[in-house]
Chain A
């Protein structure tokens, strides 16, 4: 592994920028994400920064079960996120729609129909510690040696 790659790994491990998207949740998961910012859990000590700007994000946190307004906007937003990128869904709603997936609903779960989902944290809502561990776990697997994996993939495609 080149020194450059090692440097990239080290930097990426301590600098994960997060953007969260509320696609029709009840705010329960959103306040648990906000609670992660509190000095009690202190998400920034792990190098995770909540900026809410998709253009500089590495990880998108999706809460909620896809309301009609988001159906065309979420894939668009996903395109704007620079590589390497990942989606972590928070709560039951993005997986199944939770209690809202009933006759008469307006939402259209799961979120994975619209954008590729890397990890999902179930719970209604999950605890802040679970959210932090999910972001850290997903980021470790995804961003480590990203360029090497990317090259291998391309090489595999050509041969």
Chain B
């Protein structure tokens, strides 16, 4: 079937991500998660819509402000993933927060689980 209305938007999304502020936010996100920039871009292109990508810069700044007063959220980048990029739903973010608070959990394990969930 020829899809008239739905087409592959990846090139357009990549153009959006190449914007100065958007690129800086994507690089900052990839550094937080400890993955390569290319992989971060792939995740963002697959999961986000175009307007979220355009607004990534200001959302990232807002997430930084939120994370400043939240130690666990900052360590797991929960605000950056849920508020800024919308990769993680609020419920899942709370779930991971509870996991981290529960026992003397290894944060790196939870980080790995988060990364698996979003990619």
Chain A residues near B (Cβ < 8 Å): 68-69, 72, 76, 106
Contact = CB atoms under 8 A, between A and B. Distances in A.
6 contacts: A68-B11, A68-B12, A69-B12, A72-B7, A76-B4, A106-B15
Nearest to A76: B4
Interface residues of chain A: helix, strand, loop or mixed (majority): helix
A106 B7 CA distance: 18
A106 B15 CA distance: 10
List 5 tightest A-B contacts by C-beta distance, closest first.
A76-B4, A69-B12, A106-B15, A68-B12, A68-B11
A106 B11 CA distance: 12
Interface of B: 4, 7, 11-12, 15
Contacts of B15: 106
Nearest to B9: A69
Contacts of A68: 11-12
A107 to B, nearest CB: 12
B2 to A, nearest CB: 10
A99 B79 CA distance: 41
A23 B14 CA distance: 20
A112 B8 CA distance: 25
A56 B96 CA distance: 54
B11 to A, nearest CB: 8
A46 to B, nearest CB: 34
A76 B12 CA distance: 20
Contacts of A106: 15
A76 B7 CA distance: 14
Contacts of A69: 12
Nearest to A73: B4
A151 to B, nearest CB: 34
Nearest to B5: A73
Contacts of A72: 7
A72 B8 CA distance: 13
A50 B15 CA distance: 33
Contacts of B12: 68-69
Nearest to B4: A76
B23 to A, nearest CB: 16
B49 to A, nearest CB: 14
Contacts of B11: 68
A50 to B, nearest CB: 23
A106 B14 CA distance: 13
A21 to B, nearest CB: 16
Nearest to A69: B12
Nearest to A72: B7
Contacts of B7: 72
